[in-house]
């Protein structure tokens, strides 16, 4: 399978482990360092649809200003969350792996195995 993408943060141990696991399984994924390139609204909406999750479910709280910004409030809308994630890519949890079988937030790294 050559069409594998990982939205990766090289400073994250889980992200590094997931990338290593994919390579161990013979994959050479397209690596997108989303903290450098950022997100677009449509890209995030597409990923959320592929994963069948809400923006709340991929919101990274630890090490971010998510709580201060009110993003952990269940009343925060998808539009508000996605806009914040576009503005500050660190608010998206990682790694996200996308293959022909689907997409998933791969925490723990072994969640990527279901996509291979």
Which residues carry out catalysis?
12
In contact, 55 and 85? CB cutoff 8 Å = yes
Cα–Cα dist 85/34, whole Å: 11
DSSP track, 66-94: TTTTTTTSTT--HHHHHHHHHH-GGGB-S
């Amino acid at each position: 399978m050559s069409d594998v993408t990982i939205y990766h943060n090289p400073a994250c141990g889980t992200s590094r482990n997931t990338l290593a696991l994919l390579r161990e399984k013979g994959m050479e994924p397209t690596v997108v360092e989303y903290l450098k390139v950022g997100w677009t609204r449509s890209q995030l909406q597409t990923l959320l649809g592929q994963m069948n999750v809400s923006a709340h479910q991929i919101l990274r709280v630890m090490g971010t200003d998510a709580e201060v910004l009110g993003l952990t409030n269940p009343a925060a809308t998808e539009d508000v969350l996605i806009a914040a994630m576009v503005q500050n890519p660190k608010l998206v949890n990682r790694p996200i792996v996308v293959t022909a079988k689907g997409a998933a937030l791969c925490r723990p790294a072994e969640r990527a195995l279901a996509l291979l």
